[in-house]
Structure 1
Amino acid sequence: MGLEKWLAITSVALFAMFAGEMISVYHFMTNVPEEIEFSITFEPDPKIIQFVSIGIAPAGVLAAVAFIMSKHYGSKTVGGLIIAGGIILFAGMTVSYSMLNSIDEKYLTDAVKLIPLLFMVLSAPVIIVGAYLIKHKKLRPKKEYF
């Protein structure tokens, strides 16, 4: 397996990790235990920024590098993996966004409201890039007979 396939696999794993992290922090904000609520203050913005820098930023970079490495010849495997990463990102952000109604008002900040929407929109270019790799075919070199 080429390096670009391993990079695409890693990017899918990081997309899934980011979606899982966001779902877990949104689930925590819907069900904050009382003993934690009164003993510590929970700020969701730094945690979300941490998840973005740990999960989605490296996932996007790895998907971009895999795309750049295979864009000249096209790759159905790499394209499919990048599409899978975009779908996982979209699904995770959809689940996170659906949890907004049950989150307590004191945890609803601009980042909590806008991050799922932002990454739902940004999952579309990821899927388009993957589709480009699937559709792109390697050009045959011209044979020189003389």
Structure 2
Amino acid sequence: MAIEKWLAVTSLGLFAMFAGEMISVYNFMTDVPETIAFSITFDADPKIFQFISIGAAPAGILAAVPYIMTRQYGSKPIGGLIVAGGVIMLIGMFVSYSLVDKIDPVYITDVVKYSPILFMILSIPVIAVGAYLTKEKKRRPKKEFF
């Protein structure tokens, strides 16, 4: 496999990891154990920023690099991997946003409320870029005689 495919696979994995992390922290906030609730103060904002910095940001960069490398001739497998990453992030953020109503109001902040919406919106360009790569036709390479 070329390096573009490996970058797209890594991007897919990071999108899935980010979605899983967000779902897990939102699920934790829906049912915080009483022993933790009274002994430890839990703030979700730093965790969400950490998940963004180790999951979503590198995944976006790793999705952009194969796009830049293959945009001239297109690639169905690479485009499909990028689309799959965007769909995984969209579904994961939808699940996270559906859990916001069940979260205890003590843990609700602007970051908790609006970050799933932001990443649902950001997953649409990722899907569009991947779809563009699947539609792009391969150009015939120029022959070099010298």
1:28 counterpart residue number: 28
Q: How many residues align?
A: 144
Matched, 1:100 2:92: no
Q: Percent identity?
A: 69
> What's the CA shift for 1:15?
0.1
Change (3 A) 1:134 1:34: same
Aligned positions of 1:56-71 closer than 5 A: 56-71=56-71
Aligned residue runs from structure 1 range 51-130, under 5 A: 51-130=51-130
Amino acid aligned to 1:94: F
Alignment gaps of 5+ in structure 1 = none
TM-score, structure 1 as length reference = 0.96
Q: CA RMSD in A?
A: 1.2
- Cα deviation digits, residues 94-126 of structure 1 (max 9, x gap): 000000111000100000000000000010000
Structure 1 segments, 4+ long, off by >3 Å, are: none
TM-score with structure 2 setting the length: 0.96
* Deviation of 1:140 (Å): 2.2
